[in-house]
Amino acid sequence: MENPDFLTSDLDAVAAWRDQLDREGRTLVFTNGCFDILHVGHVRYLREARALGDALVVGLNSDASVRELKGQGRPINSGADRAEVLEALKCVDRVVLFNERRVERLIDRIRPHIYAKGGDHRPETLPPEEREALQRVGASVRILSLVPGRSTSATLARLTGDQAGPRRPRLAVLGSGKGSNFRAILGAIREGRLQAEIAVVISDVPGAGILDLAREAGLPHLVVDCGKRRARIDAAGSKDLVDRVRASGADLVILAGFMRILEEPVLGAFPGRILNLHPSLLPKYPGKDAWVQALQAGEKEAGCTVHLVTAEVDAGPILKQARVLVEPGDTAETLYARIQEQEHRLLPAAIEEYGAKILQGLQP
Ligand code: GAR
């Protein structure tokens, strides 16, 4: 059991120590995290953070806040144990357990000179409340690079992989519609054509068919409220989406008919890890109803594309494409039906190829 007194009394001591350092003209660095199963990625990160100043304080998420961020089943180690391990590191001077999901209160109390944050952020993608707190106390922000492939989720997956064969990429599948491509992913996994696991299925549309499929398959599924703007996600929705995907431990985010445009902080949270399926031979016909655009333009061939998602809509690097001939007498419906047949083959194949590269560390 975590002792709540420990949280506050320790914080007072740290705040007083910060003032002492300040008087001596020394610099206090602050960072925070869950540090559940300590690995070399953590250690290198903490060393780098410590090197930014003269002392390092680590805000350590309490068990309740780790559960909220990473899901049930985490943390593996209790807050007291995690704090003890961290405190044993030469590069860590003090550890403060905190009970909240967010870190503003700690920043306000500790008033660090420097705030260090892990590499999937940029100063402008920090939550606004955090940015305001940092401004209030006059702390500067330093973003540190994370060590690729060294994460608690990867460690856990390796542990379970030891017993259950080679590790397979975990997928967060996002969809707004009927989910025929998700069904194709499930079929490919069942038939052994795709080595992957479904970490979570997320929809922005309550009642979407893709959620029914996930429920029937007994897989984790949920709705993220993306807000009222059609085709976009509001700030709260984006934040929730990032948290939910992270909590699932997914290696890849698969947009299988997800009809909203992803922006920051989602893109920055999963760089090179988001794949989108689009029903045209990109770069031709980005946007909505791509096959109708192709038909109306009198194209002789149409098709589908799997590509990496970047800030420019439907314009990221292409991973795989399939062509479909436009036949005389084709209507939008007949053409789209044949494109979907190809999609159901293309998407699992693209995930299989790209997922293997991710696990081998050949991609970021
Ligand atoms: C797919 O045809 C996919 O290409 C398209 O949504 C459909 C989802 O179908 N995506 C886009 O148009 C994205 N711009 P599904 O729900 O049956 O898998």
pLDDT computed for residue 126 by the predictor: 77
In a domain, 5, yes or no: no
Residue owning the nearest CA to atom 8 of ligand 1: 257
Decide if pLDDT at 120 tops 70.
no
Mean pLDDT of the 133-137 span: 95
From the CA of 287, give the closest atom in ligand 1: 14
101, 65 Cβ separation under 8 angstroms: yes
Per the structure, the complete domain to which residue 15 belongs is given by: 11-143
pLDDT band at 119 (very low <50, low <70, confident <90, very high): low
pLDDT computed for residue 171 by the predictor: 97
For the chain, the distance separating the N- and C-terminal CA atoms, rounded to the nearest angstrom, is 38
User: Do residues 90 and 171 share a domain?
Assistant: no
From edge to edge, which strands make up the β-sheet containing 301-308?
221-223, 197-203, 170-174, 252-255, 274-278, 301-308, 318-325
Tokens standing for residue 216? 């029937």
83, 97 Cβ separation under 8 angstroms: yes
Q: Does the C-beta of 316 come closer than 6 Å to ligand 1?
A: no
Instruction: Note if the pTM is more than 0.85.
Output: no
Q: Does the C-beta of 340 come closer than 6 Å to ligand 1?
A: yes
Among 51-55, 78-82, 334-338, the minimum mean pLDDT is found in 78-82
* Cis peptide bond upstream of 4, omega within 30: no
Is 278 in the active site?
A: yes
What CATH number is given to the structural domain containing 94?
3.40.50.620
Compute the distance from residue 329 Cα to the ligand 1 centre, in Å. Answer: 23
Among 39-48, 138-147, 220-229, the minimum mean pLDDT is found in 138-147
User: Do residues 171 and 125 share a domain?
Assistant: no
Compute the distance from residue 143 Cα to the ligand 1 centre, in Å. Answer: 36
Mean pLDDT of the 243-248 span: 94
In a domain, 243, yes or no: yes
Q: Does the C-beta of 256 come closer than 6 Å to ligand 1?
A: yes
Tell me the pLDDT tens digit for each residue of 14-24.
999 999 999 99
> How many domains in the chain?
2
Residue owning the nearest CA to atom 3 of ligand 1: 257
User: Do residues 107 and 172 share a domain?
Assistant: no
User: Do residues 82 and 113 share a domain?
Assistant: yes
Rounded Cα–Cα distance for residues 232 and 152 (Å): 31
Decide if pLDDT at 147 tops 90.
no
In a domain, 155, yes or no: no
List the catalytic residue out of 42, 278, 307, 344.
Answer: 278
252, 171 Cβ separation under 8 angstroms: yes
pLDDT computed for residue 358 by the predictor: 86
Decide if pLDDT at 5 tops 50.
no
Strands 301-308 and 318-325: antiparallel
Among 54-58, 118-122, 214-218, 280-284, the minimum mean pLDDT is found in 118-122
Decide if pLDDT at 136 tops 80.
yes
Q: Does the C-beta of 338 come closer than 6 Å to ligand 1?
A: no
Q: In this structure, which long-range contacts are made by residues 46-51, counting pairs with CB atoms below 8 Å and at least 24 apart in sequence?
A: 46/86, 46/89, 46/91, 46/92, 47/91, 48/116, 48/144, 49/91, 49/116, 49/142, 49/144, 50/91, 50/92, 50/93
Top mutation candidate among 182, 232, 274, 278 for ligand 1, by most atoms within 8 Å of CB: 278
Decide if pLDDT at 165 tops 80.
no
pLDDT computed for residue 189 by the predictor: 93
Q: What is the mean pLDDT of the chain?
A: 90
What CATH number is given to the structural domain containing 254?
3.40.50.170
